[in-house]
Amino acid sequence: MRKSANSTLAAAGTLALMLGSFAIAPQAALAEGASAVEEGKAIAFDRKKGNCLACHKMKGGTLEGNIGPALVDMADRYPDKKDLRDQIWDATKVNPYTIMPPYGKHKILTEEELDKVVEFIYTR
């Protein structure tokens, strides 16, 4: 009986560790040396940071929104990457009635995070 209890405790501990690993924020889960695109994806998909999926459909996303346009063919839509960055920084410059948050202007994302999200979105 004692051996069975130890096995059960060991299995429960292993399960707890596995489940705990799912609670890690996407940004923290990135390995060192991750590319700017991979880091941008983690930020964009993070529900507490970029949260792009709340409004936009994009490849690789789950539970995507449909309030904003689908993020596809972004390099064709924004031949100048700076224009895409400006849109994410403060979309009210182009459309004062937009519901898109001004990620840069309101410091929702840092400059570095914004640049990484741009790199990721540009690949869509």
The domain spans of the chain are 26-122
The whole-angstrom distance between residue 82's C-alpha and the CA centroid of its chain comes to: 20
Q: Looking at residue 13, what is its pLDDT?
A: 46
Q: pLDDT, tens digit, for every residue of 67-112?
A: 999 999 999 999 999 999 999 999 999 999 999 999 999 999 999 9
Identify the band that residue 63 occupies on the pLDDT scale cut at 50, 70 and 90: confident
Cα–Cα distance, 100 to 64 (Å, whole number): 15
Write out pLDDT tens, residues 12-44: 444 444 444 333 444 444 445 579 999 999 999
Domain 26-122 has CATH 1.10.760.10: yes
Q: Residues 6 or more apart from 49 whose CB is under 8 A from it?
A: 27, 43, 108, 109, 113
pTM listed for this prediction: 0.70
CA distances from 68 to 23, 30, 35, 53 (A): 28, 27, 26, 9
